[in-house]
Amino acid sequence: MIIKLIPARDATSLFEYLAGEGKHNEHVDQRVIYNNQVSPVETVTPITKQDAKSLATDFETYIKEYGSTRTFKSNRKGAKNGSRDKLNFYHGVMSLEPDEAPPSDETWAKIVDRYSTLMGWQQPDGNYAPVIAIAHGKSAGGSPHIHFAVSTVMANGQMIPDSNWKRRSIKAKRKIEDEFGLKPIESERAGYSRRDWKQAEEKRRKVRGRTVKESRYLQRAVASAALAANNEAEFAALLRASDLDINPRFGKGGKVTGYAVKIKGDNECPWYAAGKLSRHLTLPALRQDQGWEKTTNTEAARLQWEKGYAISFGAPPPLSKIMPDYARRIRAFSRTAPTSPAWATRAREAGAVLAAMSMRIEKNQPGKLWQAALTLYRAGETARRQNPTQVMRESKMLARTLLISSRLTRSNTSRILAASIIMAGHLRAQKQLQEQQLAAQKIHEVIRQTLTELQANPPEPGAPLTARPIADLVPQSELDKAIDQGRIIYTKGKDKWLIKGKNLNPGQIVTVTRNDGEQDQVKVGQVTRTNKHGHNWATFTNIAAPATPRPASGGQVTPKPRDTSHDLEI
């Protein structure tokens, strides 16, 4: 069961809409099923659009007599930014799952009456707030539902108790589910959260011929990039490589505090803040869960968020070394307590691994792989942030290989799918421990059927992600100022890389500073150009450095130009 409360101002407009035909002529058999201003309250009364005005007049009796002292942010068309309206009533909706049998009108009336009592709108001393409920058939999606309105002014002139009303509404809803035998939202009862989709988003999906809505398309790319990245700069680079536009949010001192994403090249796609995709994809959550606070070069991350530059991810380890450890860790998952933060983290990891495979195989048309990935990821979405549990190294390496390795084969994808089926089985077992057998069975069946079909005929992996060419990181004026102060930088020539500095001479050994702050020793070749400021462009020769072991993380941000190409080598 779902209950929503929406602040509202004009009761007449609401009742006229509910008594009318609806936006798509979906309203049928419109009737008042509950009105606590008349007796008996269970009496069912047909309502037409012409009756709506008189019904609203009776409903607003105490609002007109005493007046409402509360306001809410205006959502009217043409309203000025920041303007507020009188909060005269709440418009509520109660809806059930499409497969649930619709309650009778009498049962709906009892549910509304019970909810009103639990919310404090009807009090033992006889004081009450007017409540009217209207039914008009199933929703466009086939869900049994009703609408109701509750006045913010009670019969004695007091305002209804609405402090912490969202939390109290959830508690009241759970009591009603238990008392009337209604199906709870499984993810909510387990403490999990799910983001709703908007009708406008569905329209854009149909117009563009996408298989999923844009928020899910974005969630797939962000979740897989987050798991594959060893640090924050890599994460931002992978988002860009996934054909997303990113919009970082900066706090005090220039630190990135959050971000939003949209589909690159889609001018009508709105920006989605990370929290709208999943609370676990916000930047503070990722920094904790992924361990980036220990591995991130803050300045390199800031530059990557702000402007973007090509970086080298290094070669991921072969799957033959990852898969045995990954399968072993997944089997150990069955011993994890289902209420622990680690359990939720492992479920999200498994979903992100499949999301990475979907990125590689299904590309711009997410299909069965993404459906299975989303089911797993949702199982690990918690309603509140918990103590951070860092992801498994094996999961990170696997996602990394799926996104950037050029050695991915059909046999490799089949092995990953097999491990994911094991994860689905453990997920069902854990769900059953929480007495959610129906949800557990559904999750397991969806994942197992989908992955088994794919394993029988593994798809051919596509090309790995490639990063975009290196771009200028800072305005030219700032670069010129840095060069005047003695800095030497890499720059793009017509057909090869050059260095740019002041007073460069052939044969001179100089230090070139990269965009991420690291430095290279090079030998100046021929000076090809000098401008009026005395800045020189010159060819160069790399000076070989002694071989040093690669860092254990294998993903440090070390952008370096190549002599023959502007592209990134992965």
Ordered strands of the 489-492 beta sheet:
489-492, 497-502, 535-542, 519-530, 509-513
Q: How many domains does the chain have?
A: 3
Query: Has residue 463 been placed in a domain?
Result: no
Reported as a pLDDT band with limits 50, 70 and 90, residue 562 is very low
Confidence of residue 279 (pLDDT cuts 50, 70, 90): confident
Do 28 and 113 belong together in one domain?
yes
Cα-trace Rg, the chain: 30
How confident is the prediction for the chain on average, in pLDDT?
77
Please name the residue ranges forming H helices in 51-152. 52-59, 61-66, 105-118
C-alpha torsion sign, points 259, 264, 270, 276: negative
Mean pLDDT value across residues 335-344: 67
Tell whether 125 and 220 lie within a shared domain: no
- Contact in structure between 304 and 236 (CB atoms under 8 Å): yes
Kindly state whether residues 99 and 220 are assigned to the same domain: no
**Cβ contacts of 444 within 8 Å, gap of 6 or more:** 424, 425, 427, 428
Single residue among 138, 155, 184 that ends a domain in this structure: 184
Closest listed residue to residue 346, CA positions, set 358, 355, 336: 336
| More confident site: 264 or 411 | 264
133 and 73 in a single domain? The answer is: yes
pLDDT at 195: 45
Helix (H) or strand (E) holding 536: strand 535-542
Domain closes at, from 149, 184, 219: 184
* DSSP letter, residue 494: S
Q: Both 180 and 204 in a single domain?
A: no
Q: Are strands 89-95 and 145-151 parallel, antiparallel or unpaired?
A: antiparallel
Cis before 40 (ω within 30): yes
| Helix H or strand E encompassing 525 | strand 519-530
Shared-domain flag, residues 313 and 426: yes
Residue 289 confidence (pLDDT): 85
Q: What is the 3-state secondary structure (H, E, C) of 267-309?
A: CCCCCEEHHHHCHHHCHHHHHHHCCHHHHCCHHHHHHHHHCCC
Top-confidence range, 56-65, 309-318, 335-344, 345-354: 56-65
**Residue 462: inside a domain:** no
Identify residue 341 by its one-letter amino acid code. Answer: P
pLDDT computed for residue 547 by the predictor: 43
- Residue 191 in any domain: the answer is no
Q: What is the tens place of the pLDDT at every residue in 516-528? A: 556 778 899 999 9
211/196: higher pLDDT: 211
Give the mean model confidence (pLDDT) for residues 443-465.
63
Going from the C-alpha of 357 to that of each of 33, 337, 408, the distances in angstroms are 50, 28, 10
10 Å CB burial of residue 333 (0-12, 13-18, 19+) is: buried
Map tokens 């007073």 to a residue.
Answer: 503
Model confidence over 137-160: pLDDT tens digits? 888 777 889 999 999 999 999 999
Per-residue pLDDT at 194 exceeds 50? no
pLDDT, tens digit, 9 for 90 and up, residues 297-337:
777 888 888 877 766 676 777 777 777 777 777 667 666 66
368 in helix, strand or coil?
Answer: helix
Q: 193 lies in a domain?
A: no
Identity of the highest mean pLDDT range in 42-56, 216-230, 322-336, 426-440 = 216-230
* pLDDT at 128 (0 to 100): 93
Residues 451 and 388 in one domain: yes
The yes-or-no verdict on residue 121 having pLDDT over 90 is yes
Residue 550: per-residue pLDDT:
37
Query: What is the residue range of 483's domain?
Result: 469-570
Contact in structure between 457 and 390 (CB atoms under 8 Å): no
One domain, residues 175 and 214: no
Which range, of 97-111, 306-320, 355-369, 418-432, averages the lowest pLDDT? Answer: 418-432
Q: Which residue has the higher pLDDT, 136 or 335?
A: 136
Answer with the residue of higher pLDDT: 31 or 450.
Answer: 31
Backbone CA torsion sign across 410, 415, 416, 417: positive
Residue 431 is predicted with a pLDDT of 47
Out of 159, 184, 209, a domain closes at 184
Say yes or no: 165 and 206 in one domain.
no
Residue 189 lies in a domain: no
Cα distances (angstroms) measured from residue 22 to each of 137, 138, 408, 480, 524: 11, 12, 52, 63, 75
Residues 151/86, Cβ–Cβ less than 8 Å: no
Say if CB 146 and CB 94 are below 8 A apart: yes
Flag whether pLDDT at 220 surpasses 90. Answer: yes
The Cα–Cα gap between 485 and 515 comes to: 16
Q: Would 122 be classed as within a structural domain? A: yes
User: Does residue 516 form part of some domain?
Assistant: yes
Mean pLDDT of 470-488: 66
The better pLDDT of the pair 423, 391 is held by 391
Residue 159 DSSP label: B
State residue 431 phi and psi, 5-degree precision: -65, -35
pLDDT at position 564, please? 33
CA distance linking residue 256 with residue 306, whole number of Å: 9
**Is 122 a residue whose pLDDT tops 80?**
yes
Q: Do 209 and 353 lie in a common domain?
A: yes
| Cα 142 from Cα 349, distance rounded (Å) | 33
Distance, in Å, from the CA atom of 291 to the CA atom of 388, rounded to the nearest integer, reads: 9
Per DSSP, the three-state class of 552 is coil
Q: Quick one: which of 333, 330, 305 has its CA closest to 398?
A: 330
Given a cut of 50, whether residue 434 has pLDDT beyond it is no
Report whether pLDDT(90) > 70: yes
* 569 token code pair: 């080598």
pLDDT tens for each residue of 169-179: 999 998 898 88
pLDDT band at 397 (very low <50, low <70, confident <90, very high): confident
Same domain, 422 and 275: yes
| Domain assignment present for 461 | no
- Whole-model pTM: value is 0.52
Cα(first)–Cα(last) distance of the chain, in Å?
Answer: 49
Q: Is the model's pLDDT at 475 over the cut of 70? A: no
pLDDT over 90 at 92, yes or no: yes
For residues 175 and 208, state if they share a domain: no
